[in-house]
Amino acid sequence: MASAVNTGSLNMPKMLRHLSHRTNQVRDLVFARDAIKRKDVKTTGQTSATKGSSTALAGPAVSFGYETDSHAAQSAGTDTAFHVNSPEIILPGLKAIQSPITSRSGQHERSGHRITGECKFYLPPLDYIKQLENFSSSNTGMSYEYGFDELETFDKLIDMERILLNPDDFVDTNGGTMNVAGFSGIPGFEIDRVQFTGSLNTNVNANAVISQININGTIGGSTAYLRWSSGSGAPIRSLVSSNVATVFDLPVSNVKAGDTTTVWQNGIAYTYTASISNDFDVHKLTGHDDCSLTSLSITTGASPEVNIKNIFFYKEAEWRIDSIKEYRNEYIEVRAVRVRGNRTSRRRAYG
């Protein structure tokens, strides 16, 4: 009887490290999962009669499956169901091989022209992913009430499709608010997100946090900004491992006042809330009529020194996981579909 030849184990993490020096098909992805929100419940109507009276019906509360605006935890009650706090998850630092890629495929529909695409991602096995910084559920001394357990369909993998701006690393020796230099008066309509990494400098206060991030520009010659702010602020580096810096990855496009996003470190989600001045909209920053991007401002409570590095303003490619194939403990094959896409000419034309 013939038997399969054991060709040995595939070391996917090692392969990714080697290939990353030889091909751009190894991508550094941001894992994203939408917030899981409470379900809306129709409260109990008439309870004094068996069948109710007038237009009120007797009986228990009924869940219609509609989501509310809140993802916060709630206790079970007469008209409520138990719900664990389940915010949006944004976890940078996931490497994968992407191939083949159809990044732009146009399709005419009733609602207009939609850009789609498809590809396959090849990732390390789940056990390895769950040991990565922020993906791990074993953070000594840290609470971990919610987070990453496994890849699921409809999760998102965000790729830097094109880096539009890469300012120099920044060092601030005074603390407080710092303006990252390296650009001024440039278009910003293609930018979707901004990513930067905190400091590992030994001079940095171990408790230093980033409480505010401003993306500044001018619209019609007037100063405008998108501000992400947090009451507590995410730490600049891990509170568990001093040699791990926090990666901040924040949306810039299609943001309105009151929107929230999260920065994760050691299984803790730090919530940042958006505020806007002068109707800031990055799509309006076309580079003419005094409409342009001017600076990035970061506010810290650190002293005496803070380093901000790996600053990227980029156009995203957002891939939704459509199917998952796990090859034992070797690797994971993910088929993904690009469900969002903007024609750059339309961004420039319509703002």
Q: Which domain holds residue 118?
A: 12-18+25-35+89-350
* Rounded Cα distance, 309 and 209, in Å: 15
Q: What is the pLDDT of residue 304?
A: 57
Specify if 204 maps to a domain.
Answer: yes
Q: Is the pLDDT of residue 142 over 50?
A: no
Q: What is the pLDDT of residue 1?
A: 45
Please tell me whether residue 273 adopts helix, strand or coil conformation.
strand
Closest C-alpha among 171, 184, 186 to residue 302: 171
Q: Does residue 134 come out as left (phi exceeding 0), alpha (psi in the -120 to 50 range) or beta?
A: left
Specify if 291 maps to a domain.
Answer: yes
Which has the minimum average pLDDT: 13-27, 55-69, 323-337? 55-69
* Rounded Cα distance, 123 and 97, in Å: 7
Per residue in 31-89, pLDDT (tens digit) is 999 888 888 776 655 555 555 556 555 666 666 677 888 888 888 876 677 888 888 88
Query: Higher-confidence residue: 125 or 204?
Result: 125
Per residue in 117-130, pLDDT (tens digit) is 889 999 999 989 98
Specify if 293 maps to a domain.
Answer: yes
Specify if 333 maps to a domain.
Answer: yes
Q: Is the pLDDT of residue 276 over 90?
A: yes
Specify if 105 maps to a domain.
Answer: yes
Q: How many domains are there within the chain?
A: 1
Residues 6+ apart with CB under 8 A from 49: 58
Specify if 49 maps to a domain.
Answer: no
Please name the residue ranges forming H helices in the chain.
12-20, 126-129, 344-350
Mean pLDDT along residues 237-264: 86
Q: What is the 3-state secondary structure (H, E, C) of 153-172?
A: CCCEEEEEEEEEECCCCEEE
pTM tops 0.75, yes or no: yes
Which has the minimum average pLDDT: 18-27, 110-119, 149-158, 185-194? 110-119
Contact 280, 217 (CB under 8 A): yes
Q: What is the DSSP string of 314-335?
A: EEEEEEEEEEEEEETTTEEEEE
Per residue in 277-301, pLDDT (tens digit) is 999 998 888 887 688 898 898 888 6
Average pLDDT for the chain:
80
* Rounded Cα distance, 40 and 266, in Å: 32
Specify if 148 maps to a domain.
Answer: yes
Specify if 74 maps to a domain.
Answer: no
